[in-house]
Amino acid sequence: MDSYTHTKKKHPVRRSRTVRRVAAAVALTTALGVTLAACGDDSDGGSPSSTQTASNGDVFNDADVSFASDMIQHHAQALSMVDLTQGRTLDPEVQQLADDIQAAQGPEIETMADWLTAWGEDVPATMRDHSNAGHDMGGDMSEQMEGMESSDMPGMMSADEMNELQDASDAEFQDMWLEMMVRHHKGAVEMAQTEQEDGTFADAVELAKAIETAQNKEIAQMEGLLG
């Protein structure tokens, strides 16, 4: 066999091996690309945060922490609005609503504060803390709301709105209180729905469901009283 013929017989083998190597490299690159794309999809469409486990065994995420922290402040303002009904002449149905709000939301604040403590998270200051520290409800609401990060919470009243409610005449107070509380409750419902979508801690999700149900019922009552 001459050298030319021998060389020609070797070339197809080398080309075949080269083709197989290139194909394998392409397949590997494609597989890596699919894996990375899948990771990217998980990141973009996954839960708001990874879960954590507290020392007491609670499994929670950032959405749970935000829900508890924000709802504590939200509830506290609702209770401050209930405080403003003291000494006012209200229709019996409105007085009952105020009593129901106080009875439900006070214990819920304590429950959520216990969660945050167990999770090693800070319990936020509320306007009721400022009130209990010597800033009476008769004072400027700006002092009670000082330092609170509540501007992003749906349904929260500003200090000016709280002052306006506090200073309202008896003739204006009840309707103003109902209108503000409807808006406040709608904000709480929105927050509760977010927790149900994004939260991990089962008790927090259940509380969010209870808040949505109870406050939607009260919204309907208040809107009916307003006509």
Could you tell me the CATH number of the domain that includes residue 187?
Answer: 1.20.1260.10
**pLDDT-derived band at 123, boundaries 50, 70, 90:** very high
Residues 58 and 126 reside in one and the same domain: yes
Residues 12 and 57 reside in one and the same domain: no
Residues 82 and 96 reside in one and the same domain: yes
Structural domain count, the chain: 2
pLDDT, tens digit, for every residue of 66-121? 999 999 999 999 999 999 999 999 999 999 999 999 999 999 999 999 999 999 99
Residues 24 and 61 reside in one and the same domain: no
Q: What are the b/e assignments for 176-213, b being 16+ CB within 10 Å?
A: ebbebbbebbebbbebbebbbebbbbeebbebbeebbe
Where in the sequence is the domain holding 124, given as residue range(s)?
52-226
pLDDT at 226: 97
Residues 75 and 15 reside in one and the same domain: no
Residues 23 and 76 reside in one and the same domain: no
Residues 136 and 183 reside in one and the same domain: yes
Residue 67 CB-half CA count within 13 A: 33
Residues 29 and 57 reside in one and the same domain: no
Residues 10 and 42 reside in one and the same domain: yes
**Averaged pLDDT, 199-208:** 98
**pLDDT-derived band at 227, boundaries 50, 70, 90:** confident
Query: What does DSSP assign to residue 123?
Result: P
The CA distance from 227 to 224, in Å, is 5
Instruction: Assign 3-class secondary structure to 190-220.
Output: HHHHHHHHHCCCHHHHHHHHHHHHHHHHHHH
Residues 57 and 157 reside in one and the same domain: yes
